Amino acid sequence: MSQYTGEVSFERQVYPDGTYPGRSPSPRFFQDGCFFKTGITAAGPLPWQEQFDEWLSRGMHGCMSYLDRQAEKRRDVSLILGDVRSIVVPAMNYFVDIPHGGDCLKGRISRYAWGEDYHAFILGRLNRLLEHIRAAEPEARGLCYVDTGPVMEKVWGAQSSLGWMGKHSNLITRELGSWFFVGVILLNLELDYDAREKDFCGTCTRCLHACPTGAIIAPYVVDARLCLSYLTIEWKGVIPRPLRRLLGNRVFGCDDCQDVCPWNRFAKPAPEPAFQPRPGNLTPALSSLAAITDAEFESRFSGSPVRRARREALVRNAVVALGNSRSLDAIPALTRALRDASALVRGHAAWALGEVRGSAPPLRDSNRNLPAGESNAGNALEWALFEESDPWVREEIKLVLSRFQESGIRLQTSDPGPDSAGD
């Protein structure tokens, strides 16, 4: 496979395998050493439009209201570029061959977010390719998008030779599996279109069974409201109680459906250094994330995909993960989180203390050397209830204290006040 050299020729040249690009850049042109494969398909009505409309009508996009607002453009790319003729979908490998860690006190971040933010990086490469096309064909016009515009990149990629839509709704290629990003170039040129790739999922349903929440409700259908990637990144509100334990130690995204895909045995390490793990992104300490300030968050995750979650949601995820650790070592960080400026964090911290303390042996029987004033989860919760004004946080605290009382767990060592358990 040839690599992009920075020059474009629209002359009818024949490749060694007997194929030729015609009067347009071929898929080979877009392999620039970073894009490992490119699909090219004719623009037209959105494939899978009926499925997309039903998915929206059932509310499975959750809080991602932009999908509904932009639905017309997603159905018809000519509303984005009036004279669009072709859709080019280049793919960029981001795989790093490092397994997720198993330490319950360390957070798990989705593989695609270990390195630098891919949006600007890939968009720069796409714009560079588009400029070369324009230099060779002055009448060429186009627009580039990387996961931020009203274009269904994966759907269009599955209309080409790039790959097929897996049952987990991610694109899969026979060459490297599914660990890759895609972008699109909308062009007003008619190109030589390649044949659509076949669906090679067959009878395999590993991704459906691997999904921790059952978010893949049917092959090719993901209910975002149940998806841990959605819940940890897009959703900025209260995580439903039945789903909190299923987060495990995930703080940004989830890779489970891709981890089990048999096609990912063909994955190869990405050549691009930008996708190598940034310091602290591989296995971040949950206690550190739970205590991160706004300024520290901006500094640490500037230029990282993790920044999309925002500080409040990331800390929320961290305290839930600390609760799921069931480790007494999580208590100091969680009692501090009870005093966080965000009610969202405080409420989830209360739940997490209930998970840790409710599943642990009595603290008086342990040899833990916890900081003074933070060794008794029940006492910390009662003090928090005495000081808390947010109704939802108070409800979370009361639920935990009620569980403690029912389990016979000693709640307090000092009196926080006469109305601590009241309304």
- pLDDT at position 78 is 97
Instruction: Using the structure block, give the residue that is written with the tokens 């009361």.
Output: 398
- pLDDT at position 10 is 35
Report, in angstroms and rounded to the nearest whole number, the Rg of the chain calculated over CA atoms. 25
- pLDDT at position 30 is 55
Q: Which two tokens stand for residue 269?
A: 């390490």
| Catalytic residue check, 147 | yes
Cα dihedral: 354, 360, 361, 363 (round 10): -60
- pLDDT at position 404 is 86
Q: Which two tokens stand for residue 371?
A: 């900081």
Q: What is the DSSP string of 27-79?
A: GGGG--SSEEEEEEEE--BPTTHHHHHHHHHTTTTTT-HHHHHTHHHHHBGGG
- pLDDT at position 281 is 93
What residue ranges do the domains of the chain occupy?
27-94+115-187, 206-265+278-407
CB distance 167 to 207 below 8 Å: yes
Question: Which residues are within 8 A (CB) of 179 and not within 5 positions of it... i.e. 6 or more apart?
Answer: 93, 94, 95, 111, 112, 258, 264, 267, 270
Residue pLDDT tens, the chain, 423 long: 223 333 333 333 333 333 334 444 555 555 555 799 999 999 999 999 999 999 999 999 999 999 999 999 999 999 999 999 999 999 999 999 999 988 999 999 999 999 999 999 999 999 999 998 898 889 999 999 999 899 999 999 999 999 999 999 999 999 999 999 999 999 999 999 989 999 999 999 999 999 999 999 999 999 999 999 999 999 999 999 999 999 999 999 999 999 999 999 999 999 999 999 998 899 999 999 999 999 999 999 999 999 999 999 999 999 999 999 999 999 999 999 999 999 999 999 999 999 998 655 544 434 444 443 344 788 899 999 999 999 999 999 999 999 888 877 655 444 444 444 444
Measured CA to CA, the distance from residue 278 to residue 143 in angstroms comes to: 30
32, 76, 83, 147: which one is catalytic? 147
Q: Which two tokens stand for residue 233?
A: 């990144």
Q: Which amino acid is at 306?
A: V
- pLDDT at position 422 is 43
Question: Which residues are within 8 A (CB) of 402 and not within 5 positions of it... i.e. 6 or more apart?
Answer: none
- pLDDT at position 371 is 42
